[in-house]
């Protein structure tokens, strides 16, 4: 018979404790202590303390946001285009709505950076990009080119991107961000409603530095000033990473265009018509791609308005076949900014503004 191996009492005690810990861990697995409450309110007001109205841009802070203070993944930012007197092009605020529904003013600009538009995006390192299109008195007669400002994750102004060729009335934005853990590259697409140009700004970033280059990706989109809508032209953008195509919603001719080689081209590309729908498109202002490839368009009713189809969000197949629509306000002119964020396996977060009621609504939806 082999002798038993004798261990010192201390080793026995350590072994025993380890065994107890192991068994405890096995029998009673660690339980999450994170509550699901409070739930994000479905709808919140977008009117800040200074009285700004007319929410335009909406963006959901990406899940890939690096750890840090200020903005957090899942927060929603909303930009206001009008001031408290409802004068277009004079709004100065971006609101932050946290996942618990808390609303605060994230950023307040000063003249001439007024009239914050739907050209709003957030990179995974926390940088916030916001376009503006200012007016002196709220009329189309006094519109100015504006600029594309860069803010940090606390809402502090850091600088501006682009030049006169690439930024002239920034109106819509799409972001293709390949970054992770505070470093990476992002392709930022910007539609310019005063020049009919769609630009791409390539941003490289690390926790210590940011670099950017820009180019005109496509030009020639129809655009015009409008006494009611202020401006019409290339508006909402959505980037299809599977096909490397940028989709452009055009509010002048109620059409969706596509630009090939969007993230990789080093020259100006030719945009082609994907589809035109005068029945269901009414001044499309924002555009997003759902997890199943369908397109979701927000009608501004800035052109081709139909009182029987007010403030519609319209769903199309990837090829442009109409599927369904949903009014988000009983009157025309309510739908503007629209954003989605993929949660995974067809489930996504969706956020939109009602320009009439000055509200932000969020929903979780499942693409079929």
The footprint of other proteins (CB under 8 A) covers 29-30, 32, 62-64, 73, 180, 291-293, 342-346, 367-368
Least separation in angstroms between CB 22 and other proteins? 12
C-alpha 114/C-alpha 90 separation (Å) is: 5
Question: For residues 116 and 94, is the Cβ–Cβ distance under 8 A?
Answer: yes
CB of 122 to other proteins, least distance (A): 13
Q: Which residues contact 59 (CB under 8 A, 6 or more apart)?
A: 76, 77, 120, 121, 122, 339
- What distances in angstroms separate CA 219 from CA 162, 196, 250, 270, 364, one per listed residue? 16, 6, 13, 8, 36
CB 227, min distance to other proteins, A:
43
Hey, which residues does 131 pair with through a beta bridge?
Answer: 148
Closer CB to other proteins, 68 or 145, in the complex: 68
Residue 34, phi then psi, degrees to nearest 5: -85, 125
Q: Alpha-carbon distance 193 to 343, whole Å?
A: 31
The least distance separating other proteins from the CB of residue 349, rounded to whole angstroms, comes to 12
**Residue number, 52 or 177, with CB nearest to other proteins:** 177
Residue with smaller CB distance to other proteins, 33 or 266: 33
Residue 184: CB atoms within 10 Å: 18
- The CA distances from residue 228 to 225, 282, 283, in Å, are 9, 14, 12
CB of 295 to other proteins, least distance (A): 14
Closer to other proteins by Cβ: residue 79 or 349: 349
Residue 66 or 331: the one with the smaller Cβ distance to other proteins is 66
By C-beta, is 71 or 103 nearer to other proteins?
71
Main-chain dihedrals φ then ψ at residue 47, nearest 5 degrees: -90, 115
Minimum CB distance to other proteins, residue 60 (Å): 11
Which of 53, 55, 50 is closest to 76 using CA atoms?
A: 55
Q: In terms of Cα–Cα distance, which of 126, 1, 127, 113 is closest to 68? A: 126
Residue 220 vs 291, nearer CB to other proteins: 291
What spatial distance separates the first Cα and last Cα of the chain, rounded to whole Å? Answer: 68
Q: Return the bridge partners of 248, or none.
A: 237, 257
Q: How far is the CB of 346 from other proteins (least distance, A)?
A: 6
**Residues 76 and 353 sit within 8 Å (Cβ to Cβ):** no
Q: Which is nearer to other proteins, 14 or 366 (CB)?
A: 366
Least distance from other proteins to the Cβ atom of residue 241, Å: 9
């Amino acid at each position: 018979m082999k002798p038993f191996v004798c261990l010192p009492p201390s080793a026995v005690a350590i072994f025993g404790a380890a065994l107890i810990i192991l068994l405890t861990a096995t029998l009673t697995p660690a339980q999450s202590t994170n509550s699901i409450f409070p739930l994000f309110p479905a709808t919140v007001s977008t009117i800040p303390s200074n009285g700004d109205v007319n929410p335009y841009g909406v963006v959901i802070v990406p899940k890939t946001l690096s750890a840090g203070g200020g903005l957090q993944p899942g927060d929603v930012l909303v930009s206001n285009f009008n001031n408290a007197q409802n004068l277009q092009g004079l709004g100065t605020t971006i609101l932050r709505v946290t996942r618990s529904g808390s609303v605060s003013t994230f950023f307040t600009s000063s003249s001439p950076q007024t009239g914050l538009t739907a050209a709003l995006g957030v990179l995974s390192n926390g940088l916030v990009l916001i376009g503006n299109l200012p007016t002196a008195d709220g009329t189309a007669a006094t519109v100015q080119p504006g600029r594309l400002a860069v803010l940090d994750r606390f809402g502090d102004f850091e600088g501006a991107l682009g030049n006169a060729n690439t930024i002239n009335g920034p109106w819509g934005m799409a972001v293709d961000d390949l970054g992770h853990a505070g470093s990476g590259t992002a392709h930022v697409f910007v539609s310019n409603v005063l020049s009919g140009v769609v630009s791409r700004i390539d941003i490289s970033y690390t926790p210590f530095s940011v670099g950017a280059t820009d180019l005109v990706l496509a030009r020639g989109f129809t655009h015009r000033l409008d006494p009611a809508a202020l401006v019409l032209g290339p508006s909402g953008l959505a980037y299809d990473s599977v096909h490397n195509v940028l989709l452009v919603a055009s509010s002048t001719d109620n059409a969706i265009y596509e630009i090939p080689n969007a993230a990789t081209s080093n020259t100006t590309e030719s945009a082609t018509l994907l589809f035109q729908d005068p029945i269901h498109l009414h001044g499309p202002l924002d555009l997003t791609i759902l997890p199943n490839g369908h397109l979701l368009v927000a009608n501004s009713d800035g052109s081709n308005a139909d009182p029987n189809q007010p403030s519609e969000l319209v769903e199309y197949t990837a090829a442009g076949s109409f599927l369904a629509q949903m009014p988000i306000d009983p009157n025309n002119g309510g739908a503007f900014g629209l954003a989605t964020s993929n949660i995974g396996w067809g489930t996504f977060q969706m956020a939109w503004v009602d320009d009439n009621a000055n509200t932000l609504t969020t929903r979780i939806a499942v693409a079929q």
